[in-house]
Amino acid sequence: MSDTLGKIKQAIVEGDDDIAVEQTEKSLQEGINPVEVVKQATVPGIERAGELWKDNVYFMPDVVLSAEAFKAAMKVLKPQLSQVRTDTIGRFVIGVVAGDMHDLGKSIVIAMLTGAGFEVIDLGVDIPTETLIERVKELKPDIMGVGCYMTTTMLILKNVMKALKESGVRDNLKVMIGGVPTTQQFADEVGADAWGKDALDAVDKARELIGG
């Protein structure tokens, strides 16, 4: 691995977005294939942060900063990556229900899913049910992940699931839910295909859903 790739990986593990951006730009100037930057630096970086989290070495601030550094590096690479064909294991659309602004968990999930090889499309927060349905029709994802972080907004998930059925897109779509107030029982009640306990669990479940 080149010195630059090593520094990108290290910057992501350490959650330093400035260095992650600086070294990613440098890697492109050095002519390193952006796909290799992803494979050898950014993804291993976020995976390592996930391992450290799992092992109780990293806590939320560390993971969040790693996710931010990963996002910053990927932003630099995105224009280059769009010009080359990259393999993904599935398309994942993610958003937070209407009336809910909490996206801390979502940011980590996005970083971890991207690291795991998913193409992740972030719809943002406070997304009305109708918009979620429209975007599913338009983007045709393999999985839609919907988050909610309040006990009142989580009830909107019932409407989302109903609307997905009524609009005829549910049959070809796997639905995952997550967020602080949710549980496996709630996921079963609303008829979701899976519940992500946290970001690491969400990645495992997403892989399972697409048969990976």
Residues that bind another protein (CB under 8 A): 15, 17-18, 56, 59-61, 64-65, 68, 98-104, 107, 124-126, 150-155, 181, 183, 185-186, 197-198
Which CB, 55 or 171, lies closer to another protein?
55
Given the complex with another protein, which of 78 and 197 has the nearer CB atom?
Answer: 197
CA distances, 10 to each of 14, 167, 200 (Å):
6, 45, 20
Reading the block at residue 124, the tokens are 């943002």
Closest approach of Cβ 34 to another protein, in Å? 25
Largest CA-CA distance found in the chain, in angstroms, rounded? 53
| 32/72 with CB nearer another protein | 72
Q: How far is the CB of 168 from another protein (least distance, A)?
A: 27
Please give the structure tokens belonging to residue 107: 């940011």
CB 24 within 8 A of CB 79: no
Between strands 194-196 and 143-147, the pairing is unpaired
As a whole number of angstroms, the distance between CA 44 and CA 5 comes to: 10
- The nearer residue to another protein, 5 or 63, going by C-beta atoms, is 63
Specify the residue, 5 or 96, whose C-beta has the smaller distance to another protein. Answer: 96
In the chain, alpha helices (H):
3-14, 17-29, 34-37, 43-54, 60-81, 104-115, 129-139, 156-166, 184-190, 199-209
